[in-house]
Amino acid sequence: MIRLASWIVGSLVIAALAAWMISLPGTLTLEVAGYRMQPRLGVAVFMFMVIAIVVIFIWAIVRRIISAPRAMARRRRERRREQGVEALGAAMIALQAGDPGRARSLARDAQARLPSNAAARLLEARADLALGDMAAAREHYRALIASDQTALAALTGLYDQARAQQRPQAALTFARKALNLAPDSAWAAEAVFNDLAQRGQWAEAVAMVNAEQAGSREQRARKRRRQAVIETARARESETSEPLSALEHALTALRLLPDFVPAALIAARIHINRGETRKAMSLLRRIWRATGHPDIAALYGHAQPGASAVDRLKRMGEIIETPPPHRAAGMALARAAIDAYDWVLARQALAPFAGPDATQGVASLMAEIEEGQHGDQGRAREWLARAVRAPRDPAWTADGMVSDEWEPVSPVTGRLDAFEWKVPMIATMTATTPPDGGLLAQSSPQPALPLAPAPNPT
């Protein structure tokens, strides 16, 4: 309604101006080719305006005719570009849909229509990689490295290709180049870090972790854990050769992760070997209360070198009450009681856990009790047969491998911090040979999972 009213008002104003112009007094004399015209002044102005409009219109037509070839060429380029973009998008969709052959064909079509577009060539290289045409993919990627815009993407593709071809050294080379080109590249940093961890170059690895920018709470927690694992690995490596340096690394790990069992075991062993029994026992008591880990209890029992089995049993009673609060405590106490020939206490410690859900460790200890206390070979064999079918006890497990003790990297994949204290999901056990940890390096009992509400020690 407002628009209609505005149009009507505008039309009236223009008509009024035209009428006023025509009614202007005076005449204008024009002589052209012997002809004389004397129109009124308003009519003359109006005629000049009409002539100007006609000239402008004719010039616009002439200009359009003259520029038509150039406009048609521009339109063809725009259409070609639109088709190239459409082909590029369709190629990306085909690649994601699992049709690399069609993706490569579309990428080549896009590259023909968009010669200066590096994305088309990069997409063609990805399609070649998916099709297994490694030579063609390599050529595309190497051509893209020359451009600063596509160098990182090309190095990513070359890294993936090297991994697909089982060439770890080449993959690492590409990752290092990408990291030098873009220090904030997450995949390159992870690849270089994993290589350092696999080769045990802990100083360089911890330097990389320290340089990481951790913004969120999860990132800070991940960074602290990585630092703690690396410090524990350094302590484990130098426990025998440089015990003071190893102790410093282990204590640093405990400051980062106060309840980290592997670091606590190393620190406690070093304290014991140095004659600092009180420090070792204080540390072990704190970790035991936090985790209930059986290795902690076993080391606590052996904290005094040369102590008798009866003394070890008494010391075990300092941290484990009767009845034991969880299976790990019961098994640790039973182990100490069996060594001290206190069969009654050993049986009492395992009684709450020797029911239908008894684990292999519990069943094996019960077999020892039956044979040691009564010499009952039949009952002992029953318990041993039951142990074969019983659920397994937790152990240090990583990627399907079971180890007697914690290790910093997985022996299967080389992944850092892969070992977890949990029940193995396979039936095959592979025991690793632990490094020489000094006086008490071989004092770990059969592992078991704490049933008390304690945090995961890993």
Any idea what the Cα angle at residue 14 is, between residues 11 and 19, rounded to 5°?
Answer: 125
- Contact of 103 with 92, CB cutoff 8 Å: yes
Mean pLDDT of the chain: 82
The pLDDT assigned to 249 comes to 94
The pLDDT assigned to 250 comes to 94
**Token digits for 99?**
């049709």
Residue 418's identity, in one-letter code, is A
**Euclidean distance between CA atoms 322 and 324, whole angstroms:** 5
Any idea what the Cα angle at residue 419 is, between residues 316 and 350, rounded to 5°?
Answer: 30
Give 223-270 pLDDT, tens digit per residue. Answer: 899 999 999 999 999 999 999 999 999 999 999 999 999 999 999 999
Find, among 417, 445, 393, the residue nearest to 262 by Cα.
417
Give 105-135 pLDDT, tens digit per residue. Answer: 887 787 777 777 777 777 777 787 777 777 8
The pLDDT assigned to 30 comes to 67
The residues that bridge with 37 in the sheet, in sequence order, are 30
Average pLDDT across each block of 10 residues of the chain; the chain has 458 residues. List them in order. 82 75 66 69 73 88 85 83 81 81 81 75 77 77 74 80 79 83 80 85 87 82 92 92 93 94 95 92 93 92 88 89 89 92 91 90 92 88 91 90 90 88 66 39 37 37
Domains detected in the chain: 83-199 (1.25.40.10)
Q: Where does residue 314 rank: exposed (0-12), middle (13-18), buried (19+ CB within 10 A)? A: middle
Flag whether the pTM goes above 0.85: no
Helices (H), 374-455: 377-389
The pLDDT assigned to 174 comes to 82
